[in-house]
Amino acid sequence: MTIITREDPTDLVLRPMRPVRRTSSGARRGPRQQRPAGAALRYRGTGVLMSRASHRRKPVTPIATVLLALVAAVITVWLGLVAQLGATPESATPAPERLAVVQLQAGESLEQLAQRVAPDAPVESVVGQIRDLNKLGSAAVGPGKTLIAPVG
């Protein structure tokens, strides 16, 4: 059997074609095997190129371990110093440690109460202590309320 093809519009080329092999039932058969029945299959590769470089990890030397530990220590000390020097003190005088039971007067806020009971301490820290000691959620407190406050 031959196939007629046209490679050039003026030329006709005749090429022989292999006959199609069929089984006894008439179905087409695949290509004939090239190896004998007992021979091993030939490995042809996956078609994916791989690096030929060594993929083993290099061991970490003791010197590298010590250097990394020193760098980590220096970073830790530096961060500690930045945290200490960067912290702003609220005031030179700390909030008083003694506690007393006080009553809130009519029209008085927590800030005014803090100034009254601890005039030398920072107002914000005294108000914070009053809120913590009395478990207050907001600064709104009714008149005549009895509170625990730091005094000094």
Segment 133-147 mean pLDDT: 81
Segment 18-37 mean pLDDT: 65
Check: CB of residue 101 under 8 Å from CB of residue 148: yes
Q: Is residue 22 part of a domain?
A: no
> According to the model, what pLDDT value does residue 97 have?
75
Q: How many domains does the chain have?
A: 1
Q: Is residue 131 part of a domain?
A: yes
> According to the model, what pLDDT value does residue 132 have?
86
Q: Is residue 113 part of a domain?
A: yes
SS3 13: strand
Q: Is residue 132 part of a domain?
A: yes
Centroid of chain to Cα 18? 63
Segment 1-12 mean pLDDT: 58
Digit-coded pLDDT (tens) for 57-113? 888 899 999 999 999 999 999 999 998 887 665 555 565 678 889 888 888 888 888
Check: CB of residue 122 under 8 Å from CB of residue 88: no
Closest of 115, 135, 137 to residue 124, by C-alpha:
115
Closest of 105, 108, 107, 113 to residue 131, by C-alpha:
113
Segment 11-39 mean pLDDT: 65
Q: Is residue 18 part of a domain?
A: no
Q: Is residue 139 part of a domain?
A: yes
Owning domain of residue 122: 98-151
> According to the model, what pLDDT value does residue 55 have?
74
Give the CATH number of the domain where residue 147 resides.
3.10.350
Centroid of chain to Cα 62? 29
